């Protein structure tokens, strides 16, 4: 009995000792964790530079392109010295970028943050909902004063980056709201030398533009004795439609909504590819095409071929971002918004200030979310925008007496023989992809593009919608029904423009669009629009 009692007593002592040890260990662990948190807080500066007193290291994934390894590049070497934050850049190839990013997220092998990989809205909704991507609402409110200020001044941007669950999961690329030259990036340009040779005034209406193209193609304005002039150049019909649909009163909420705008008569959503105005626009383009006034290989021409012809000065008009930088030609002037047959003069070819929603996202593996938010927020300030796009003063850019800035010869006339593009990519990273930053005219503008925008900015839409954010369920339907509708429209409009389909078939085309699932498409669009409005409250 004594042995049994002793044994029981020993077991009890062992259990008590184990329990006390566990409690002690747990207490020690909590104390160590508390101490670690206190040290991190003491190391973190909520304002100013450096962001941390003692250096920390973060791992970011970014796309590799024509820029060198970002672990040793001027812009981030400079920023590391400013912040005391060392970034381990894991560069992944642009080829298959989306698939590789999704594999990381789904497999759990992901970094502290993703930079410039272009996470989609569905990525943000899916992995935000799973807790892989961190909600940023509170962090932005506390530690991102520059970004927060932009959101407060531009509520449409905040609505555009807020997912259906009410959370913000990413920092986007944002264009300065009055940076018209970039918001309307693809422009119509007219060859001023041709105008002078033909003794014609700059066209102001669609009819005058037609007359100009006709004269240019038939009267040898380049004076080489050959009938080699091309009326209007574009790559595919998409940019042509974006340029001309506003002259028929369509696209009044901008190009981020390819087929939907607001009906001015009913103030309801309108699917305008079945509108009579869309038919009239296609008839106008068919007239140009059938008379040889649109580049013949509109649907097959490659960009390098377009640039070669542009460099030869063959285009009477062209739809491009800038013929000076694209073709090396100085004789083009930006066109005005051409007035249509019913007096419409809307420059609908405007995108939203919000661009590439998923530019920068933080994951749940990040042990320094506050520091990371401060790190990215700087690029939404004026100084950060200058660093991102211009680089380091005295090295890659200089500031002139009037306050303007310009690249040095290290970029413009590189001593190693690098082209301007190659030199930019060697020292800066903004050419790499859907970067997160604030794009300002002071640091990103091209003079001729800004001059062109002055001629049409008064005709920009009064309201420009960013893309709406659909739920995963809605997106699945849009990827099936929506894709079927959009594919049919793309195919049909090409046939109407080239004359392969007669406009006598228009009613049949409209009925087919409806049968493919237009009601369901518009129902989902309405839900997205309703959410967009509610997020303003």
pLDDT tens string 238-274: 999 999 999 999 999 999 999 999 999 999 999 999 9
Say if residue 118 is in the same domain as residue 134.
yes
* Domain assignment of residue 75, yes or no: yes
Say if residue 137 is in the same domain as residue 232.
no
pLDDT tens string 396-428: 999 999 999 999 999 999 999 998 889 999 999
* Domain assignment of residue 7, yes or no: no
* Domain assignment of residue 435, yes or no: yes
Say if residue 339 is in the same domain as residue 277.
yes
Mean per-residue pLDDT of the chain:
94
> Between the CA of residue 300 and those of 51, 233, 297, 313, 491, what are the distances in Å?
52, 12, 5, 20, 14
pTM, two decimals, is 0.89
Contact 465, 530 (CB under 8 A): no
* Domain assignment of residue 44, yes or no: no
Say if residue 320 is in the same domain as residue 375.
no
How many Cα neighbours within 13 Å face the side chain of 224? Answer: 11
* Domain assignment of residue 121, yes or no: yes
Contact 319, 233 (CB under 8 A): yes
* Domain assignment of residue 368, yes or no: yes
Say if residue 196 is in the same domain as residue 325.
yes
Strands 269-271 and 260-262: antiparallel
| Close Cβ partners of 500 (under 8 Å, ≥ 6 residues apart) | 494
Say if residue 378 is in the same domain as residue 468.
no
pLDDT of res. 65: 75
Say if residue 102 is in the same domain as residue 242.
no
For residue 373, the tally of other CB atoms under 10 A from its CB is: 24
Per-residue confidence at 13, pLDDT binned at 50, 70, 90?
Answer: low
Percentage of the chain beyond pLDDT 90 is 86
Q: How far is Cα 169 from Cα 97, in angstroms, rounded to an integer?
A: 19
| Close Cβ partners of 477 (under 8 Å, ≥ 6 residues apart) | 520, 524
Say if residue 367 is in the same domain as residue 251.
no
Q: How far is Cα 492 from Cα 505, in angstroms, rounded to an integer?
A: 10
pLDDT of res. 41: 83
Say if residue 80 is in the same domain as residue 209.
no
User: Per the structure, how many domains does the chain have?
Assistant: 2
Q: Residue 56: enclosing H or E segment and its boundaries?
A: strand 56-64
Instruction: List the domain range (segments joined by +) for residue 221.
Output: 183-351+462-534
pLDDT tens string 45-70: 999 999 999 999 999 999 997 767 99
Number of helices followed by number of strands (H, E) in the chain: 23, 14
Checking if the pLDDT of 148 tops 80, the result is yes
* Domain assignment of residue 397, yes or no: no
Q: How far is Cα 308 from Cα 227, in angstroms, rounded to an integer?
A: 17
Checking if the pLDDT of 37 tops 80, the result is no
Lookup: tokens for 387: 């660093």
Say if residue 153 is in the same domain as residue 91.
yes
CATH code, domain carrying 115: 3.40.190.10
* Domain assignment of residue 289, yes or no: yes
Q: How far is Cα 464 from Cα 532, in angstroms, rounded to an integer?
A: 13
Checking if the pLDDT of 27 tops 80, the result is no
Lookup: tokens for 222: 């380049």
Say if residue 195 is in the same domain as residue 318.
yes
Say if residue 236 is in the same domain as residue 255.
yes
């Amino acid at each position: 009995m004594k042995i049994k009692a002793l044994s029981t007593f020993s077991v009890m002592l062992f259990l008590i000792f184990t329990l006390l040890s566990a409690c002690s260990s747990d207490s020690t662990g909590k104390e160590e964790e508390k101490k670690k948190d206190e040290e991190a807080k003491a190391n973190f500066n909520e304002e100013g530079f450096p962001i941390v007193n003692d250096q920390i290291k973060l791992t970011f994934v970014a796309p590799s392109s024509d820029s060198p390894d970002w672990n040793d590049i001027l812009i981030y070497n400079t920023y590391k010295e400013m912040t005391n934050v060392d970034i381990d850049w894991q560069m992944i190839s642009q080829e298959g970028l989306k698939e590789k990013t999704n594999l990381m997220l789904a497999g759990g092998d992901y970094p502290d943050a993703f930079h410039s990989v272009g996470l989609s809205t569905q990525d943000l909704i899916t992995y935000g909902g799973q807790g892989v991507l961190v909600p940023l609402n509170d962090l932005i409110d506390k530690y991102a004063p520059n970004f927060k200020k932009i959101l407060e001044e531009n509520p449409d941007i905040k609505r555009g980056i807020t997912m259906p669950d009410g959370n913000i999961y990413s920092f986007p690329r944002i264009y300065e709201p009055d940076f018209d030259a970039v918001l309307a990036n693809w422009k119509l340009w007219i060859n001023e030398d041709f105008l002078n040779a033909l003794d014609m005034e700059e066209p102001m209406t669609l009819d005058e533009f037609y007359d100009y193209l006709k004269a240019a193609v038939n009267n040898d304005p380049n004076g080489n004795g050959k009938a080699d002039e091309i009326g209007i150049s574009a790559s595919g019909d998409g940019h042509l439609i974006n340029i001309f649909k506003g002259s028929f009163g369509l696209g009044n909420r901008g190009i981020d909504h390819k087929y939907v705008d607001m009906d001015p008569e009913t103030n309801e959503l309108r699917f305008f590819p079945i509108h009579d105005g869309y038919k009239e626009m296609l008839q106008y383009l068919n007239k140009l095409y059938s008379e040889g006034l649109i580049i013949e290989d509109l649907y097959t021409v490659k960009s390098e071929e377009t640039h070669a012809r542009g460099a030869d000065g063959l285009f009477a008009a062209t739809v491009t971002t800038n013929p000076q930088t694209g073709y090396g030609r100085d004789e083009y002037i930006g066109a005005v918004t051409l007035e249509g047959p019913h007096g419409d003069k809307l420059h609908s070819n405007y995108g939203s200030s919000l661009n590439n929603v998923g530019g920068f996202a933080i994951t749940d593996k990040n042990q320094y979310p506050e520091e990371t938010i401060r790190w990215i927020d700087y690029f939404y300030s004026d100084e950060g925008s200058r660093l991102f796009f211009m680089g380091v003063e005295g090295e890659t850019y200089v500031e002139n007496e009037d306050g303007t800035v310009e690249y040095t010869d290290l970029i413009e006339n590189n001593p190693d023989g690098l082209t301007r593009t190659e030199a930019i990519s060697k020292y800066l990273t903004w050419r790499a992809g859907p970067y997160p930053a604030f794009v300002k005219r002071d640091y990103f503008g091209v003079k001729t593009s800004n001059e062109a925008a002055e001629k049409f900015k008064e005709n920009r839409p009064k309201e420009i919608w960013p893309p709406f954010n659909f739920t995963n369920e809605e997106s699945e339907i849009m990827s099936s029904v929506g894709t079927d509708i959009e594919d049919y429209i793309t195919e049909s409009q090409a046939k109407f423009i080239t004359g392969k389909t007669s406009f006598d078939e228009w009613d049949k085309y409209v009925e087919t669009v409806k049968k493919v699932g237009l009601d369901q498409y518009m129902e989902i669009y309405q839900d997205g629009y309703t959410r967009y409005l509610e997020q303003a409250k």
